[in-house]
Amino acid sequence: MAFDKTLEDLKLDYLDLYLIHWPARLRKGAVGINPEDFVPVDIPTTWKAMEALYDSSKARAIGICNISTKKLGDLLDVARIPPAVVQVECHPVWQQTKLREFCKSKGVHLSGYSPLGSPGTAMYKTNVLKHPVIVTTAEKLGKTPAQVALRWGLQMGHSVLPKSTNESRIKENFDVFDWSIPDDLFAKFSKIDQASYFHFITLNPFEILWVYFFSREVMSSATIYFVNTAEKS
């Protein structure tokens, strides 16, 4: 079982939190991610296995990543043990308003990965840290745009999961707990236009996942693909 292998690799007896990373299903023996390898998703059966791990105390909490509001609602309808955490991309330019409000109403914690919009990667092109609202707020508070983006998430009630291998940036990311964004500036974040686009020079396997689960529109031309993954609020 994948879970037991994880415990073995980590040399642990239990995990505090175990997540379904992608609510996807591929045929047995599939290599890589190809459209023809997708089979109907059976989240309820997978969730029963997650519940068994929770019952065994090997997983102290269970959750799911990259799931839409509708699919989360479907899961809650059949779950004996509801997910403790839903983990999705979340930042000021993709605030996950509909999903966030639904999670709050159901007592599910929202955890936001890519809270800075993954600057410097080839995949993400949202320019979160260059948004005028974030830049202006940072200048007024004497903070960096990254700190403002992280603080926004904390004040929204999320946990935030920034990633960096740069020591100075790691320290910068930790400096978000002893100050806050004032209400007048914080209110401006709700006015930010929401858009999240994935930019591929060629058809990347991860695009298939986003199209399969989340996309509302796919725009293509020659070798450039844009996938709009923002859930409509």
Mean pLDDT of 44-71: 96
DSSP string, 37-52: GB----HHHHHHHHHH
Tokens of 212: 């399969």
91 belongs to an annotated ligand binding site: no
pLDDT classification of 231: cutoffs 50, 70, 90:
very low
Could you give the CA distance from residue 190 to residue 134 in angstroms, rounded to a whole number?
A: 12
Q: Which helix (H) or strand (E) holds 89?
A: strand 85-89
Q: Return the closest-CA partner of residue 100 out of 159, 43, 50.
A: 159
pLDDT classification of 194: cutoffs 50, 70, 90:
confident
Q: What is the pLDDT of residues 79-112, one digit of tens each?
A: 999 999 999 999 999 999 999 999 999 999 999 9
pLDDT higher than threshold 90 for residue 226: no
Parts of the chain belonging to CATH 3.20.20.100: 2-192
Mean pLDDT of 60-72: 95
Does the domain at 2-192 match CATH 3.20.20.100? Answer given as: yes
Mean pLDDT of 37-63: 93
pLDDT at residue 28 in the model: 86
State if pTM tops 0.85. Answer: no
Half-sphere CA count of 22, side-chain side, radius 13 A: 14
